[in-house]
Every structure is written in structure tokens, then in C-alpha cells.
Amino acid sequence: MDHASNNPLSGGSFFAAQSLGPLLALAAVVALLVVDPALVIEVSTGDFIIVTVLLGGGAAWLSGQAVAETWRPYVQLLAYMLILAAAVRFIHYALFHGTLLSLPYYAVDFVILAAIASLGYRTTRARQMATQYAWLYVRRGPLGWSTAADGETSATS
């Protein structure tokens, strides 16, 4: 069962959706920020950085690690990020007089949180695969793993 090395879009590859998707999503948010900051930041830059990036992003990273550590599916992580994005929207509303029921800003918060959570998930899953199945997989960078060649182990790469 050598599926990880046969398909570059599968589980351990850097090009898997769980690895490349978050990076592309963050790049899209940064591009929106450059084009029109009002599409990403509702009230103030400080509010956005503190609430969405630091508080929400920290919770998202830890959620990604927790879901990966318990071997839960990636889809469950995305469901958790829907809830966390709603909580982040509420903090924007309650503390900084942002709009509570704003679909565009909710979507931006969700994309950022899901991307950060996905990175936490993938780093943890890559570590898990390389340590739990050291005879079968070796770690390839912070987000991926590949099938071990003959005689190659996680300790040698």
C-alpha cells in the first residue's frame, strides 16, 4: 500500500490540499489586504491583529494540533473552525463594535482561522506519521512525509 508516494496530491505530500490549501488561502487574504484593506479589516488593524490573528489564530493552531493528536478527520477541524470564527466575530462585535452578522467578515475570519488550524494539524500529523510509523514513513519538511526508502528511517533524514 504505497499510495503516499504514487499520488503527489495524497496524504503526506506537500501538495496535498491540507498542506497547500492553507498557504494559498493566507496568500489570498494578504492579496485582499493589499488591494482593499476594508475587505479584510472591519474596525481597526489592531483589533484585527489582536482578536483574529493572535487570539483566534492561537486557538485555531491548538485546535489543529488537538484534532491531529486524537487522529480525528480533517473535516472535523473545519467544523470546529466554523464555531471558532463565530466566537471571533462575537468578540469583534462585543469589544470593538464590529458587525456581528457580517457574512464577508465572517468568511475572512473563517479562512484565516482554518488556514492556521490546518497548518497546526499538518505539522502535528507529519510528526505523528514519522514517529508512529517510523519503519514506513519519513518526515519531508514541516508539513509532509513520504514512504521510507530501504534502510532510511526518520532518524537518518
Residue spans per domain, the chain: 11-132
**What is the predicted pLDDT for the residue at 105?**
96
pLDDT at 141: 82
The pLDDT value given to residue 9: 47
Exposure of 108 by Cβ count < 10 A (0-12 exposed, 13-18 middle, 19+ buried)?
buried
Residue 61's Cα: distance from chain center in Å? Answer: 7
Output the pTM of the full model: 0.83
List CB contacts of 139: < 8 A, sequence separation 6 or more: 126, 127, 129, 130, 145, 154, 157
Q: What is the 3-state secondary structure (H, E, C) of 77-127?
A: HHHHHHHHHHHHHHHHHHHHCCCCCCHHHHHHHHHHHHHHHHHHHHHHHHH
pLDDT at 11: 63
Residues with Cβ < 8 Å from 118, sequence gap 6 or more?
A: 18, 21, 22, 64, 74, 77
Q: What backbone phi and psi angles, to 5 degrees, belong to 147?
A: -65, 135
Is 10 in a helix, a strand, or coil? coil
The pLDDT value given to residue 124: 94
Angstrom CA distances, 66 to 14, 72, 77, 91, 96, stand at 21, 9, 9, 23, 30
Query: Which grid cell is 1?
Result: 500500500
Mean pLDDT by 10 residues, the chain (157 residues): 47 68 89 91 93 97 97 95 98 95 95 96 92 88 79 54
DSSP 138: E
